[in-house]
Structure 1
Amino acid sequence: MTSARKVQGGSEPPRSVAGNGSGNGKSSASAAAHYDEGGQPPQHQDHQPGRETEMSPPPRSFMENYKAAGKLEGKTLLISGGDSGIGRAVSIAFAKEGADIAMIYLEEEEDARETEDHILAEGQQCIRLCGDIADPAFCKRCVEETIEKFGKIDILINNAGEQHTADALEDISPEQLQRTFATNVFGAFYLTQAVLPHLKENASIINTVSITAYRGQPVLMDYAATKGALVALTRSLSANLVNKGIRVNGVAPGPVWTPLIPSSFDADEVAEFGESAPMGRAGQPDEIAPAYVFLASSDSSYMTGQVLHPNGGTIIAG
């Protein structure tokens, strides 16, 4: 289940590695212009949760322009869905900030290895944990192996998810409904339950929710329901743990260019993805990851039970 590698001396560095949080020298203005290019051609992947290596253009998920400040030095992160998309950007950002990473992924070995290479290039340690978080025994093993490797867990990010479109509620089969809840809700429960005995004061739990929990999505009704459940879990668990000094918050991204998109929608829908956002484009994982850094660091020490909304300008109340 577990795999860990080291970058060998003299080997070709992974794509887009900056190293030590230094970025690549681009100004913030040029970075913003780079994001504004937007758009993606029609494409579809037949297998969830999708592979970043097959996307065109590839998501911007390597945190090339990110300027680290040592906000997470000495910390250990356990993250589900950490191999690609938002999870990849978060894992690399946390490594740039000084954290070691335990990365859970379903089966996407090539994506996971590339993410691991970038973490190692930042001088941090990484272990890869391959399996299905819908299995509570697997979640326990992930926690055990993370503790065995790093001796502690400071931050848990429940990020793994899946979604399947359906034009009518009657089209959602019991199998699809159960599978979507098993990954998105039960997996977060199982992983959090396994981690909690190891979390100490000042630890942080961050749940990836979604704009769909607040605005709905007519062809993702079961997915939106799972994300609504995670919002409720975030608020309830934060109240339950506040006296222990453990903070629980969430991030609710809007439309973001990740492998889940071409593996969920047909090619024509993918080509239009993100156009309905006020900014007129899909977001990039690099633009979402800093919200997680903020919630995991002492910068957000007076926040718990809250959800941040990096969504391209959609106004959310509640």
Structure 2
Amino acid sequence: MMKKKRYQKRYTRAEIIRNRILVVLVVLALALAAACGLSMLGDGDEVSQEQSSSSSRSETEQEQNSSSQEEPSSQEEPSSQEEPSSEQEPSEQSSSQESSAGEEPSSQPVSASGEPSEEDPFYEPEMPILVNPTNRIPEDYVPDVADMGNGYQFDRKATQAYNEMLRAANADGISLWVVSAYRDNDKQTTNFNNKVKEYEAMGYSAQEAYDATAKIIAVPGTSEHSLGLALDLNSLEQSFENTETYRWLVSHCAEYGFILRYPKDKEDITDIIFEPWHYRYVGTNHAKIIMENKICLEEYLSGDY
């Protein structure tokens, strides 16, 4: 008896590939659905936790408010918020320090422009010392000089001011150089006596030679050069007045604490001829007033301007 052959369907290669692709897509869809479900579950837990935390905080605040209302005010103890906390955040501590610092009066000296001296390195809190034919250098005065190059010495702080002025001038195309700086009393005496002899050789009497010399060279003991605070720049000729360098100095020297010490129209006050080369360091706060008002040091110190 012959057995019947079971019919078996044969799939083409294209159908097999298609079926495999469908299986992979179904698996990926199931995995994605499972992942989304877990994420939503986690978010729901966080939301519930936040709601629970918010609810507990609200209950705590209500309990604190009700307890504070029930207690008499005379028996209230300071809360922890009113006491300084050692666990304060760095940003809060910084803010607190800035606030308290702003309330305290400043002990810094204030310049003529109202700015603290730390913003003006050449601010001078003291009034300038006056040295002229009728005001000699105090016997106990000791200049604080330092080397400034090329064999010259000058006041230590004023040297810094001059170097700043020198850099600014160079930036503007102006050349500055020192002709004379600090001279001790012996050097001043030698210069003075030599000039007296020159006048005497020209036929001046001793007194006339002395008086003529005193107009251009300070009598020993009355020279600003012996203070260590005066500089002669570029030239010792009055024609220096006609140079661009002189005009730059008159316009900018006060920014670095210097003044034109012997102006042209103040000879009757200074008793010294016009010296376009002679600059005295007094500090920016004083220099700006003197130069802006076109006065000499004697007028500034007397207040007569």
Common topology (TM > 0.5): no
After TM superposition, the score normalised by the length of structure 1 is 0.25
What TM-score, normalized by structure 2, do the two folds share? 0.26
Rg larger in 1 or in 2? Answer: 2
Would you tell me which structure has more helix in proportion to its own residues? 2
* Higher RCO (C-alpha under 8 Å, 6+ residues apart): 1
